[in-house]
Amino acid sequence: MKRALASGLVFVQIVLLVGLLVLPHGTVWPVNGFVVATAIALIAVGVALAVQGSTTLGPAMTASPIPRDDAPLATNGVYAVVRNPIYTGLMSGGLGLVVIGSSLMHVVVWVALIGLLAGKTRWEEQMLFEEHPAYSDYAARVGRFLPGVGRIR
């Protein structure tokens, strides 16, 4: 049951991300040079965070919220700044797609993505608390998605 739920969450995450890519562009706000540059910057930051997070995890990397057995706790690199850099990257990149998409449907899908990632993170963190005794101290020092924000005391 646990693995089925994890797979379902990953599937919905992919659907939401694809949705942000393929939704038709809207006209809620004008898309000018500044908007395009902002979107590109957000997407670039998102990709960089996701790649750095994935690279730092190495063989412990999984799309599932269920941590790999016997994987070490990553607290170095970008994980020294935020606990979930891959999810932060997905949110940032998604926001870039919202900015360029200029539609309310983009906003709705992005908010759904944030909700999904927040829930997925809370479940994943419960398992990390159980598996890694040092996770408690780490979570008290490092923010969940943004530096210093969402620390668990």
Q: Is the pLDDT of residue 153 over 90?
A: no
Which letter, b or e, does each residue of 81-112 get, where b requires 16 or more Cβ atoms within 10 Å of its Cβ? ebbbbbbbbbbbbbbbbbbbbbbeebeebbeb
Cα 68 from Cα 62, distance rounded (Å): 7
What local confidence, expressed as pLDDT, does residue 58 receive? Answer: 87
Q: Which residues pair with 146 in a beta bridge?
A: 149
DSSP conformation letters of 39-84: HHHHHHHHHHHHHHHHHHHGGG--SSSSPPTTPPPP-SGGGGTBS-
3-state SS assignment for residue 20? helix
pLDDT, tens digit, 9 for 90 and up, residues 17-64: 999 999 999 999 999 999 999 999 999 999 999 999 999 998 889 888
What local confidence, expressed as pLDDT, does residue 13 receive? Answer: 97
pLDDT, tens digit, 9 for 90 and up, residues 67-98: 888 889 999 999 999 999 999 999 999 999 99
User: Whole-prediction pTM value?
Assistant: 0.93
Query: Does CATH number 1.10.540.10 belong to domain 27-152?
Result: no
Q: Pick the residue with more confidence: 34 or 148?
A: 34
Helix (H), strand (E) at residue 19? helix 2-22
For the chain, the structural domain boundaries read 27-152
